[in-house]
Copies of this chain bind each other. A is one copy, B any other.
Amino acid sequence: MTESKKAALSIVKIGGNIVDNPQALESFLNDFHQLEGHKLLVHGGGVMASKMAKQLGIETKMIHGRRITDEETLKLVTMVYAGWGNKNIVALLQKTGCNAIGLSGADANTIPAIRRSPVPIDFGFAGDPDPDKTNTDFISQLIESGITPVFCAITHDGSGSLLNTNADTIAYTLATALSEKYLVTIYYCFEKEGVMMDVNDPTSMILTMTREEYETYKQKGIIVDGMIPKLDNSFRAIENGVSKVVILHAKNLLSGKGTTLG
Protein backbone atom coordinates (compact mmCIF):
# COMPACT_ATOMS: atom_id res chain seq x y z
CA MET A 1 0.00 0.00 0.00
CA THR A 2 1.39 3.47 -0.82
CA GLU A 3 2.18 5.60 2.21
CA SER A 4 -0.28 8.34 1.18
CA LYS A 5 -3.22 5.94 1.18
CA LYS A 6 -2.53 4.52 4.61
CA ALA A 7 -4.67 5.50 7.58
CA ALA A 8 -2.94 6.55 10.79
CA LEU A 9 -2.70 4.14 13.72
CA SER A 10 -1.49 5.07 17.21
CA ILE A 11 0.06 2.26 19.23
CA VAL A 12 0.36 3.27 22.87
CA LYS A 13 2.38 1.33 25.43
CA ILE A 14 1.93 1.85 29.16
CA GLY A 15 3.98 0.28 31.92
CA GLY A 16 3.09 -1.67 35.02
CA ASN A 17 3.33 1.38 37.29
CA ILE A 18 0.21 2.93 35.67
CA VAL A 19 -1.66 -0.38 35.44
CA ASP A 20 -1.26 -0.78 39.21
CA ASN A 21 -2.39 2.78 40.07
CA PRO A 22 -6.22 3.05 39.83
CA GLN A 23 -6.33 6.88 39.68
CA ALA A 24 -3.50 7.25 37.15
CA LEU A 25 -4.93 4.40 35.08
CA GLU A 26 -8.44 5.81 34.86
CA SER A 27 -7.10 9.27 34.00
CA PHE A 28 -4.83 7.80 31.32
CA LEU A 29 -7.64 5.70 29.83
CA ASN A 30 -9.88 8.77 29.56
CA ASP A 31 -7.11 10.47 27.57
CA PHE A 32 -6.53 7.36 25.49
CA HIS A 33 -10.24 7.27 24.61
CA GLN A 34 -9.96 10.85 23.33
CA LEU A 35 -7.03 10.07 21.08
CA GLU A 36 -8.38 10.46 17.55
CA GLY A 37 -8.22 7.84 14.82
CA HIS A 38 -7.37 4.16 14.96
CA LYS A 39 -5.55 3.05 18.08
CA LEU A 40 -4.26 0.06 19.96
CA LEU A 41 -3.02 -0.27 23.56
CA VAL A 42 -0.24 -2.47 24.92
CA HIS A 43 0.21 -2.72 28.67
CA GLY A 44 2.68 -4.17 31.13
CA GLY A 45 1.88 -5.33 34.63
CA GLY A 46 5.21 -6.04 36.29
CA VAL A 47 4.51 -4.02 39.44
CA MET A 48 1.31 -5.95 40.12
CA ALA A 49 3.02 -9.27 39.27
CA SER A 50 5.82 -8.61 41.76
CA LYS A 51 3.31 -7.71 44.49
CA MET A 52 1.26 -10.83 43.78
CA ALA A 53 4.41 -12.98 43.73
CA LYS A 54 5.28 -11.65 47.17
CA GLN A 55 1.77 -12.41 48.48
CA LEU A 56 2.03 -15.95 47.13
CA GLY A 57 5.56 -16.44 48.40
CA ILE A 58 6.96 -16.85 44.86
CA GLU A 59 10.46 -15.49 44.52
CA THR A 60 10.85 -12.84 41.78
CA LYS A 61 14.06 -13.51 39.86
CA MET A 62 15.31 -10.84 37.46
CA ILE A 63 18.38 -10.74 35.20
CA HIS A 64 19.15 -7.51 33.27
CA GLY A 65 15.73 -6.17 34.30
CA ARG A 66 13.93 -9.17 32.80
CA ARG A 67 11.89 -11.65 34.80
CA ILE A 68 12.93 -15.30 34.89
CA THR A 69 9.67 -17.12 34.12
CA ASP A 70 9.47 -20.58 35.67
CA GLU A 71 6.19 -22.52 35.45
CA GLU A 72 4.76 -21.02 38.62
CA THR A 73 5.72 -17.52 37.49
CA LEU A 74 4.15 -18.09 34.06
CA LYS A 75 0.82 -18.89 35.73
CA LEU A 76 1.21 -15.84 37.93
CA VAL A 77 2.03 -13.36 35.14
CA THR A 78 -0.73 -14.79 32.93
CA MET A 79 -3.21 -14.29 35.78
CA VAL A 80 -2.02 -10.75 36.40
CA TYR A 81 -1.37 -9.53 32.84
CA ALA A 82 -4.12 -11.32 30.87
CA GLY A 83 -6.55 -11.53 33.80
CA TRP A 84 -7.10 -8.61 36.15
CA GLY A 85 -4.69 -6.20 34.40
CA ASN A 86 -6.14 -6.66 30.93
CA LYS A 87 -9.83 -7.05 31.79
CA ASN A 88 -9.86 -4.13 34.22
CA ILE A 89 -8.49 -1.90 31.45
CA VAL A 90 -11.08 -3.24 28.99
CA ALA A 91 -13.96 -2.64 31.44
CA LEU A 92 -12.73 0.91 32.14
CA LEU A 93 -12.39 1.65 28.40
CA GLN A 94 -15.90 0.29 27.80
CA LYS A 95 -17.08 2.77 30.43
CA THR A 96 -15.60 5.67 28.42
CA GLY A 97 -17.39 4.39 25.30
CA CYS A 98 -14.26 2.93 23.72
CA ASN A 99 -15.14 -0.54 22.37
CA ALA A 100 -12.05 -2.35 23.63
CA ILE A 101 -11.15 -6.03 23.30
CA GLY A 102 -8.46 -7.58 25.49
CA LEU A 103 -6.04 -9.96 23.79
CA SER A 104 -2.97 -12.02 24.46
CA GLY A 105 -0.80 -13.14 21.57
CA ALA A 106 -2.40 -16.61 21.85
CA ASP A 107 -5.87 -15.25 21.10
CA ALA A 108 -6.71 -15.80 17.43
CA ASN A 109 -3.00 -16.61 17.12
CA THR A 110 -2.32 -12.87 16.91
CA ILE A 111 1.33 -12.96 18.06
CA PRO A 112 3.12 -16.29 17.59
CA ALA A 113 6.44 -16.33 19.41
CA ILE A 114 9.50 -18.50 19.90
CA ARG A 115 10.62 -19.58 23.36
CA ARG A 116 13.94 -17.89 24.01
CA SER A 117 17.00 -20.13 23.87
CA PRO A 118 18.18 -21.21 27.35
CA VAL A 119 21.75 -20.22 26.31
CA PRO A 120 23.43 -18.03 27.56
CA ILE A 121 20.68 -17.22 30.12
CA ASP A 122 17.65 -19.44 30.72
CA PHE A 123 14.75 -17.00 31.05
CA GLY A 124 12.28 -19.90 31.27
CA PHE A 125 8.92 -19.37 29.56
CA ALA A 126 10.02 -16.15 27.88
CA GLY A 127 9.03 -15.56 24.26
CA ASP A 128 10.35 -13.47 21.40
CA PRO A 129 7.66 -12.73 18.83
CA ASP A 130 8.24 -12.99 15.10
CA PRO A 131 6.92 -9.80 13.44
CA ASP A 132 6.50 -11.63 10.12
CA LYS A 133 4.07 -14.08 11.71
CA THR A 134 1.91 -11.48 13.46
CA ASN A 135 -1.74 -11.95 12.45
CA THR A 136 -2.22 -8.44 11.04
CA ASP A 137 -5.35 -9.42 9.06
CA PHE A 138 -7.32 -10.22 12.18
CA ILE A 139 -6.02 -7.21 14.10
CA SER A 140 -6.79 -4.80 11.26
CA GLN A 141 -10.28 -6.34 10.88
CA LEU A 142 -10.92 -5.45 14.52
CA ILE A 143 -9.54 -1.94 14.04
CA GLU A 144 -11.61 -1.36 10.88
CA SER A 145 -14.72 -2.51 12.78
CA GLY A 146 -14.14 0.27 15.31
CA ILE A 147 -12.80 -2.07 17.97
CA THR A 148 -9.71 -1.11 19.99
CA PRO A 149 -7.35 -4.02 20.72
CA VAL A 150 -5.73 -4.02 24.17
CA PHE A 151 -2.74 -6.37 24.29
CA CYS A 152 -1.17 -7.78 27.41
CA ALA A 153 2.42 -9.02 27.41
CA ILE A 154 1.68 -12.73 26.94
CA THR A 155 2.28 -14.65 23.70
CA HIS A 156 2.39 -18.36 22.85
CA ASP A 157 4.59 -20.84 21.00
CA GLY A 158 1.84 -22.59 19.02
CA SER A 159 2.67 -25.83 20.84
CA GLY A 160 0.47 -25.22 23.85
CA SER A 161 2.76 -23.02 25.94
CA LEU A 162 2.05 -19.45 26.88
CA LEU A 163 5.13 -17.22 26.96
CA ASN A 164 5.97 -14.15 29.00
CA THR A 165 7.01 -11.37 26.62
CA ASN A 166 8.33 -7.88 27.20
CA ALA A 167 5.55 -5.31 26.66
CA ASP A 168 7.86 -2.89 24.77
CA THR A 169 8.65 -5.78 22.41
CA ILE A 170 4.94 -6.51 21.91
CA ALA A 171 4.41 -2.84 20.96
CA TYR A 172 7.42 -2.96 18.61
CA THR A 173 6.21 -6.21 17.00
CA LEU A 174 2.66 -4.99 16.44
CA ALA A 175 3.89 -1.60 15.18
CA THR A 176 6.33 -2.99 12.62
CA ALA A 177 3.86 -5.65 11.41
CA LEU A 178 0.96 -3.19 11.16
CA SER A 179 3.10 -0.55 9.41
CA GLU A 180 2.43 -2.45 6.18
CA LYS A 181 -1.20 -1.32 6.44
CA TYR A 182 -1.04 1.84 8.55
CA LEU A 183 1.07 4.93 9.20
CA VAL A 184 2.04 3.89 12.70
CA THR A 185 3.12 6.11 15.58
CA ILE A 186 4.32 4.38 18.75
CA TYR A 187 3.83 6.24 22.02
CA TYR A 188 6.07 4.69 24.67
CA CYS A 189 4.77 6.04 27.98
CA PHE A 190 7.16 5.92 30.90
CA GLU A 191 7.78 7.63 34.23
CA LYS A 192 9.68 10.64 32.81
CA GLU A 193 8.52 13.36 30.42
CA GLY A 194 10.99 12.29 27.74
CA VAL A 195 14.66 11.54 27.17
CA MET A 196 16.80 13.90 29.28
CA MET A 197 20.26 15.34 28.51
CA ASP A 198 20.71 15.45 32.29
CA VAL A 199 18.49 13.20 34.42
CA ASN A 200 18.72 15.71 37.28
CA ASP A 201 17.53 18.65 35.16
CA PRO A 202 13.83 18.46 34.17
CA THR A 203 14.34 21.28 31.62
CA SER A 204 16.91 19.25 29.68
CA MET A 205 14.44 17.17 27.69
CA ILE A 206 15.45 16.32 24.13
CA LEU A 207 12.51 17.27 21.86
CA THR A 208 13.62 15.45 18.72
CA MET A 209 16.41 13.00 18.08
CA THR A 210 17.75 11.37 14.93
CA ARG A 211 19.60 8.06 14.86
CA GLU A 212 22.89 9.94 14.35
CA GLU A 213 22.27 12.21 17.34
CA TYR A 214 21.38 9.16 19.42
CA GLU A 215 24.67 7.46 18.53
CA THR A 216 26.56 10.61 19.54
CA TYR A 217 24.69 10.87 22.88
CA LYS A 218 25.45 7.22 23.56
CA GLN A 219 29.16 7.63 22.77
CA LYS A 220 29.35 10.69 25.04
CA GLY A 221 27.66 8.80 27.89
CA ILE A 222 24.70 11.21 27.94
CA ILE A 223 22.21 8.41 27.29
CA VAL A 224 22.85 5.38 29.49
CA ASP A 225 21.40 2.31 31.19
CA GLY A 226 17.70 1.52 30.81
CA MET A 227 17.15 4.10 28.06
CA ILE A 228 19.46 2.27 25.65
CA PRO A 229 17.33 -0.86 24.97
CA LYS A 230 14.22 1.35 24.76
CA LEU A 231 15.84 3.67 22.19
CA ASP A 232 17.55 0.86 20.24
CA ASN A 233 14.13 -0.75 19.99
CA SER A 234 12.53 2.54 18.90
CA PHE A 235 15.05 3.25 16.14
CA ARG A 236 14.77 -0.34 14.94
CA ALA A 237 10.99 0.20 14.69
CA ILE A 238 11.57 3.28 12.51
CA GLU A 239 14.00 1.35 10.29
CA ASN A 240 11.31 -1.31 9.93
CA GLY A 241 8.55 0.98 8.68
CA VAL A 242 7.12 2.73 11.75
CA SER A 243 6.57 6.44 10.96
CA LYS A 244 7.31 7.94 14.34
CA VAL A 245 8.14 7.02 17.92
CA VAL A 246 7.37 9.35 20.84
CA ILE A 247 8.78 8.70 24.31
CA LEU A 248 6.71 10.55 26.86
CA HIS A 249 4.91 10.58 30.20
CA ALA A 250 1.44 9.01 30.10
CA LYS A 251 -0.09 12.29 31.34
CA ASN A 252 1.11 14.00 28.13
CA LEU A 253 -0.45 11.54 25.69
CA LEU A 254 -2.96 14.01 24.23
CA SER A 255 -0.46 16.85 23.78
CA GLY A 256 2.16 14.43 22.45
CA LYS A 257 4.81 16.36 24.41
CA GLY A 258 7.92 14.22 24.80
CA THR A 259 10.95 13.11 22.83
CA THR A 260 10.10 12.41 19.19
CA LEU A 261 12.35 10.05 17.27
CA GLY A 262 12.46 9.88 13.53
Contact = CB atoms under 8 A, between A and B. Distances in A.
A134 interface: no
Nearest to A26: B160
Contact of A87 (B95, B147, B154, B159): B154
A109 B104 contact: no
B102 A104 contact: yes
Given A86-B82, A87-B162, A88-B162, A108 B104 contact: no
A253 interface: no
B78 A80 contact: no
Contact of A95 (B52, B75, B104, B159): B159
Contacts of A103: 101
A197 interface: no
- The interface residues of chain A, by DSSP majority, are classed as helix
Nearest to A163: B91
B95 A101 contact: no
Contacts of A154: 87
Contact of A91 (B52, B55, B99, B156): B156
A233 to B, nearest CB: 25
B55 A92 contact: no
